[in-house]
Structure 1
């Protein structure tokens, strides 16, 4: 998966360059130590004084480069994780309804939160560290060869041993990381399900049962993480042991060389310091390379979310002018099934003329909601023909369909903001348009009782409002956009009969509005207000009745 755009690649190159410079400067502290000790041993005060000034300048440069490298690294991580979340979110939102519903929404949340965090911790941060440590290793190697080829040869022997372990554990760590990511997604899904079912859990005394289930999935998730961390711990443990042994060996070898008069005391101190500088990068590389390779399955998951099968371009901006329904909507011999050879709808034919009020009656499971999904472009793999003003529905963009038809579902979703934003949904309307929609939808009836009026917070999914109030907000959403077709998909079944009657009656009075009411139980007092009533049974329209 490509994590970096053009600008991001420039930033990471600059960050890695700064990290490399910081690493080189860090390695050269050994040379300063050598010069200081040798000057002191020779009692060379002039050279010693110059070294103090050089050291101060060196520390200032080292601190500046270190800060710039750390700042750019944080900026790079912020930009990459932000862009990654944007890609995943956009990819999910561009999915077709069928593709979107094929996975639990908790999987999407887990990808946005958990998987992106894993990429940050196990790819971005290790990548910066590995680059910096690689430069530090090469710089240290050059200085070691300059000071003592023999000591360098001894260190290389331990280096070969230290690099064998990651090669043996790399694939196992990758499998463990992938298993942990999958279990983490399952944990998120289960937790979300339990929180959503709070009322049922409380009402049916399910708490002990749910606690057992949560404890089990929580334990399994922790165990998966522990399994991955255990392998990493083994890798780190052996790295630390070999690191300590190599430093001790270098101390003895360098001390022996000094006693033989082959190196100075300053060189001895420099070699001891360099042995740690030499081994530390190797240890860091051993610990972080398996993390980078182990994150590949997670990156594949994120790439799958970022790119849909269709990967369609962004939809066109909504038109400023209202859509019009001139010739109406026609369905001709429409047949559809969610699975092969199991049709939910069979040879459906109907006509909805502009400005008419139609009702579609039928028992639950008869295919009413499925027909609405076809009319609003959810699915395109149906047999037969659906046309808006004579244009096949397949040739209409989703934006055009959204401006032609609005659906009010049984369960209204409201964003956790105020009433105004839940009506306008990010668009700008004139005060006259807003006032008309508020009045026509019936919101004006309860608005005076709210202290902040249209700017009253609705709470999570409208929990601060009654069912009827939420329903009226949904109606206002459609009316303010002058949507020519309004579909009520069991839109009033979840509220009291009086409020449902008022909402339905208000809509039927809209002269230029085409209304299609989907219900399994019709308000008999309003039947005469409908121009045509369709009856749907077992996926077929059995008969039609003209309103009286």
Structure 2
């Protein structure tokens, strides 16, 4: 957390200055209010109203500065929160395909929402509260010197006691906070997974599973939060005990000094107020520090996100040859999926890859697309070893399509361009190549028609064509189709497969579970994996 506080040191310096001004003014007000009681005892009404006027002026300045402080604190806090989110997502961008998918998307969403809220509340907010309290405590202790040195000595001693008591539960509080954070991730992941399965539950009349799964996840999260609250309560009670003891002791000592005529009676008002500031701050300090330290594991978790900086690879200016595999093997742990595979896929040719479940069909395409890099053997693309090319360079030429391409909420145009800039001519060419022209023409706003969440307003075939248009717009000539038409109706599936196979410019590798005779005749080769 301190990294971001340092990064925005200018903004935080201004916040600290404003905190200092507001807390010093409050201390001065406490001291001056003591003078009002002394003027009343002396029946000096003129002085009484002068002090009130002075205090009113201080309060007006306080309110003005407080307004600025609140706004600047919020602005600074949000700048730091945005920087954290940006750093997390940059690490995701640098993560390998395998590393990213070790966690569910709901977990990452929890990082960027719930964990950031925790950092803002238990991190930045408490950081500013603690510093404000320290400033108020220091100024209050200095103010106590204006009355009697013995009050300061007692205050320091009792402050040490109040700080020490809650440390008995500091480790337990940190552990409970971390467990709550982890349980919250599991809750988000479970609920996200359940809600994404609404259509499945609906089809099998199992919608009651939604509330059941949510309740189970909620109960687990509630147990974690309740445990954290129990530990926090113990820390708070110990801090409150020290707080009460400190305030009563200072008030008692001041009363004694008044009886001895060592301080004026107005000191009772001032020292009581100053002691309240000091011991309220100190009484809460251990709890606040423990809660603030509890965000450290969150940052540790962020930093543990694996990154894989792709080695600089050679550029492929022109694709002059296809893909050749020699003795390629791949295993998931102890499970061998591909073993010493030899195959060639020439440019402009069309191939079907078939095999039993688990024979390595999808694994092969993931290797060719650069998702899996820890294979053995040789894979060459346009004469270059895949491990000598960056994944970005490889994917610049290859389009991978799975069963259900992901579409973003937004328009057809936004889903094809993906935020990049292309001319109308380039878009029109991509629409024609993917046979999307007629679909777009039938939409009320054409390319600017919103297609709903995950493209639900489009049919399965139309979604596949949008995915094709993405690739054609970027000049991709090699298509890896991973069961890409298996979720479509017979007519749509056949239409898309024939379109790809009849395009002489394309190199097509398609995994299929149903190789139709009309499609087989258009293939240059059927590659059989495993025992199929």
Query: Cα 1:511–1:204, aligned 2, differ >3 Å: closer, same or farther?
Result: closer
SS in 2 for 1:282: helix
Partner of 1:310: 308
Query: Cα 1:482–1:209, aligned 2, differ >3 Å: closer, same or farther?
Result: closer
- Answer whether contact 2:201 2:209 (CA < 8 A) is retained: no
Structure 2 distance, partners of 1:350, 1:2, is 54
SS in 1 for 2:145: helix
How far is the alpha carbon of 1:133 from its aligned partner? 0.6
SS in 2 for 1:464: coil
Q: Deviations along 1:257-290, whole A, 9 cap, x unmatched?
A: 2233222122222222222122222123133112
- Answer whether contact 1:364 1:520 (CA < 8 A) is retained: no
Structure 1 distance, partners of 2:242, 2:10, is 37
SS in 2 for 1:69: helix
Partner of 1:518: 511
Partner of 2:80: 80
Q: Which one of 329, 332, 341 corresponds to residue 338 of structure 1?
A: 332
How far is the alpha carbon of 1:225 from its aligned partner? 0.6
- Answer whether contact 1:115 1:302 (CA < 8 A) is retained: no
Structure 1 distance, partners of 2:237, 2:2, is 33
Kindly report which structure 2 residues correspond to 1:478-489, keeping only aligned pairs within 5 A, or say none.
Answer: 478-489=471-482
Using structure 1 for the length normalisation, give the TM-score.
0.90
Kindly report which structure 2 residues correspond to 1:263-412, keeping only aligned pairs within 5 A, or say none.
Answer: 263-305=263-305, 308-311=306-309, 324-340=318-334, 342-412=335-405
- Answer whether contact 1:323 1:484 (CA < 8 A) is retained: no
Structure 2 distance, partners of 1:299, 1:526, is 53
Structure 1 distance, partners of 2:204, 2:491, is 30
Partner of 1:253: 253
Structure 1 distance, partners of 2:196, 2:144, is 62
How far is the alpha carbon of 1:325 from its aligned partner? 1.9
How far is the alpha carbon of 1:210 from its aligned partner? 5.2
- Answer whether contact 1:3 1:84 (CA < 8 A) is retained: no
Partner of 1:60: 60
- Answer whether contact 2:240 2:284 (CA < 8 A) is retained: no
Determine if the alignment matches structure 1 residue 495 to structure 2 residue 488: yes
Partner of 1:427: 420
SS in 2 for 1:491: coil
Query: Cα 1:167–1:413, aligned 2, differ >3 Å: closer, same or farther?
Result: same
Partner of 2:204: 204
Identify which range, 489-498 or 275-284, moves more after superposition.
275-284
Using structure 2 for the length normalisation, give the TM-score.
0.93
How far is the alpha carbon of 1:136 from its aligned partner? 1.0
Q: Deviations along 1:131-155, whole A, 9 cap, x unmatched?
A: 1111111111111123122333333
Structure 2 distance, partners of 1:290, 1:365, is 50
Structure 2 distance, partners of 1:5, 1:269, is 38
SS in 2 for 1:442: coil
- Answer whether contact 2:194 2:210 (CA < 8 A) is retained: yes
Query: Cα 1:402–1:15, aligned 2, differ >3 Å: closer, same or farther?
Result: same
Structure 2 distance, partners of 1:508, 1:207, is 42
Identify which range, 265-274 or 471-480, moves more after superposition.
265-274
Structure 2 distance, partners of 1:312, 1:109, is 25
- Answer whether contact 2:92 2:307 (CA < 8 A) is retained: no
Identify which range, 221-230 or 142-151, moves more after superposition.
142-151
- Answer whether contact 2:360 2:529 (CA < 8 A) is retained: yes
- Answer whether contact 1:170 1:293 (CA < 8 A) is retained: no
Total equivalences in the alignment: 531
SS in 1 for 2:521: helix
Partner of 1:545: none
How far is the alpha carbon of 1:52 from its aligned partner? 4.7
Identify which range, 422-431 or 56-65, moves more after superposition.
56-65
Identify which range, 355-364 or 107-116, moves more after superposition.
355-364
Structure 1 distance, partners of 2:401, 2:272, is 75
- Answer whether contact 2:167 2:286 (CA < 8 A) is retained: no
Partner of 2:169: 169
Structure 2 distance, partners of 1:535, 1:238, is 71
Q: Which one of 457, 471, 476 corresponds to residue 464 of structure 2?
A: 471
Identify which range, 240-249 or 137-146, moves more after superposition.
240-249
Structure 1 distance, partners of 2:217, 2:440, is 46
Structure 1 distance, partners of 2:295, 2:12, is 19
Structure 1 distance, partners of 2:317, 2:323, is 14
Partner of 1:152: 152
Q: Deviations along 1:452-473, whole A, 9 cap, x unmatched?
A: 2222222121111111111111
Question: 5+ unaligned residues in a row in structure 2: which ranges?
Answer: none
Structure 2 distance, partners of 1:109, 1:3, is 22
Q: Deviations along 1:460-488, whole A, 9 cap, x unmatched?
A: 21111111111111111111111121122
Identify which range, 238-247 or 292-301, moves more after superposition.
238-247
Q: Deviations along 1:80-100, whole A, 9 cap, x unmatched?
A: 111111222221232111112
- Answer whether contact 1:257 1:263 (CA < 8 A) is retained: yes
Question: 5+ unaligned residues in a row in structure 1: which ranges?
Answer: 543-548
Partner of 2:434: 441
Partner of 1:546: none
Structure 1 distance, partners of 2:82, 2:206, is 39
Q: Which one of 499, 502, 515 corresponds to residue 509 of structure 1?
A: 502
SS in 1 for 2:396: helix
- Answer whether contact 2:195 2:210 (CA < 8 A) is retained: no
- Answer whether contact 1:323 1:404 (CA < 8 A) is retained: no
Partner of 1:531: 524
Partner of 1:455: 448
How far is the alpha carbon of 1:47 from its aligned partner? 4.6
